[in-house]
Structure formats: structure tokens, C-alpha cells
Amino acid sequence: MARPQRFPVKFEFWSTEQQLAGLEMLCSDGLSDKATHLRQALAMYLRAAGISQKPAQPANGQQHHQERVNGL
């Protein structure tokens, strides 16, 4: 029996040469790869468009701090 694919759907997109150069510059430090940067960019785009499945998490735990201040 065949193993289920991790990513069963393929999609492609077009970009400008400037955007590709920027992506390659982001990946040039070797700390990350193109797939990671593209995933992050897609997540940011989906959040900005209001169609993200996960709610945005507050940066540096401000929500928890506010709850403690209010006694919750």
C-alpha cells in the first residue's frame, strides 16, 4: 500500500525577477530555506486577507499580561 503524501496538492505561482532575487537574498545566510520563507509569506498574506484558519497570537504574551493585570 502506498504511503500517504505529506503535501498531496501542488500549486504554482508566478513572480517578478526582483521578488525572486529578494527571496534568494533572504535564503543566502543558510539559516532558512525558500520553502520556509514562502510558508511564512503565505501565512502573512492569509492573515492580512482575513482567511487564516489560526487566530493571530499576540506578540510577546501581551494577552496573558493583560489578563493578570485585570485579575483573570
Kindly list the domain boundaries of the chain, sorted by start residue.
14-52
Instruction: State whether residue 29 is helix, strand or coil.
Output: coil
The pLDDT assigned to 29 comes to 84
The pLDDT assigned to 3 comes to 82
Taking only the tens of pLDDT, the chain with its 72 residues reads: 778 888 788 878 899 999 999 888 988 988 888 888 888 888 888 889 888 766 556 666 555 555 555 555
Instruction: State whether residue 15 is helix, strand or coil.
Output: coil
How much helix, strand and coil, in percent to the nearest 5, is found in the chain?
A: 55, 0, 45
**pTM, whole model, 2 decimals?**
0.51
Q: Return the CA Rg of the chain.
A: 18
The pLDDT assigned to 21 comes to 92
Residue with cell 493578570: 68
Q: How far apart are CA 27 and CA 40, in angstroms?
A: 13
The pLDDT assigned to 17 comes to 95
